[in-house]
Amino acid sequence: MALPESPVPNAIQQSIKLGRYGEAVDALAALTAQRPSAPLLMAQASANMGLGDPLAAKEIALRLVEADPQRLEARLLLARIRAALDERAAALADFRTALDLSAATATSPPASIPAHLALHNLEQLAYLEEVQGLAPGTLLRVSATQREDARRQLTEVLDKADAIVPSVKLGGDIGRILAEPPLLLHDEPPPAACLNPRNDWAATVHSIANEGGVACVDGLLNPTALAQLQRFCLRSTVWRRSYRHGYLGAFAEFGFFNALLLQIAAELKDAVPDMWGEHHLAHWWSFVYQHQRPGTDIHADQSDISLNLWITPDAANLQPGSGGLDIWHTAAPANWTFDDYNAGGYAIRAYLKEVGAERTSYAHQENRALLFNGALFHQTAASRFAEGFENRRRNITFLFRRTRRR
């Protein structure tokens, strides 16, 4: 039976926004016991995840999905919860169902599209035609002249852009395709093992605990897993969220999920139980950057442990020794909200100046992972990568949260 749509009270929304998850969970439990609604149960499950209790969240999410199997946000939430619980096969099945639900509710492409998103999609579709041996025009159904004209126009727009990348109106078939390219997910079974065998994890744990909350791990993945991850990122058209400074994001709700990603997270927990044993995978995503454009601004993560992994080959980095991550060895104040430490660049810089925070720059290197306390402020370092679709700077991020003891 469908649930009512009674909204979440403003006071509870404010508690969640301020990170007071225990308070929100208690209030929502009282409300849902009396008059459950889909929004209230969604908020209750999400607040339990914020509290670090995926088992409690799963019970609520299952109730939502059973009441309305077509509810997209409930299916996505259940998929994330199952990933947190390492129920990998079930999580992947739910993510695929969510993609199907999303496709069924697709809207018309926008009239305009950010220039960097359009150029990326043009390059990716041309790349896929080439590596898959398809005739030009199979995926990008326009003439070679139209492709070249669009490439030239988009490049000129980006070359002239200031801090914010403008949107463009391309019109016709090419505009529709570049705004909403066909969803293609590269799929292959993961290798038996993803991590490189190593005996220095104790040093990694020591670095996190005693050396500024950061550890650098070179050669994280074995060659087979690294190559497979690179293929997935190059051949999957999952780069659907554009950021105004000129980079793109791939998230699970857009198709950025597969058995390989979940296996990497599981192997990390198994390899270092002293560090990850009481944590669960909360979120993951990837960013791809436009050549010579700024990357992610200064922020902190909503995580206890963050892992950033770079996968672009070193030959693409035109300034070796740069292009990685700047990390300040200062955490966000405990009373700051998510918005405070994620969208307040000016205030963050003022705070770091006030406390005299020290910064370390970690250079980009293929297959290098940075593990750090997610509350530490960090930003993408200045970078210069070669032109070409395969040469774009790409990184994968995993966020781990502490699991609440029951």
Distance CA 98, CA 87 (A): 16
Model confidence band, residue 148 (pLDDT cutoffs 50, 70, 90):
very high
Q: Considering only CA atoms, which of 405, 88, 20, 52 is closest in space to residue 252?
A: 88
Model confidence band, residue 406 (pLDDT cutoffs 50, 70, 90):
low
Please indicate whether residue 100 or residue 404 has the higher confidence score (pLDDT): 100
The stretch 60-68 carries a mean pLDDT of 97
The stretch 238-245 carries a mean pLDDT of 96
- The per-residue pLDDT of the chain, averaged, comes to 94
Write the CA distances from 95 to 77, 101, 171, 252, integer angstroms.
9, 10, 32, 7
Model confidence band, residue 277 (pLDDT cutoffs 50, 70, 90):
confident
Do residues 28 and 64 touch, judged by C-beta distance below 8 A?
no
Q: Considering only CA atoms, which of 312, 96, 76 is closest in space to residue 187?
A: 96
pLDDT in tens, 182-240: 999 999 999 999 999 987 888 888 888 887 899 999 999 999 999 999 999 999 999 99
Quick check: 1 pLDDT over 80?
no
Distance CA 215, CA 309 (A): 12
Quick check: 28 pLDDT over 70?
yes
pTM: 0.96
Model confidence band, residue 257 (pLDDT cutoffs 50, 70, 90):
very high
- CB count within 10 Å of CB 139 equals 19
Beta bridge mates, 285: 251, 397
Domains of the chain: 10-104 (1.25.40.10), 113-179 (no CATH), 201-402 (2.60.120.620)
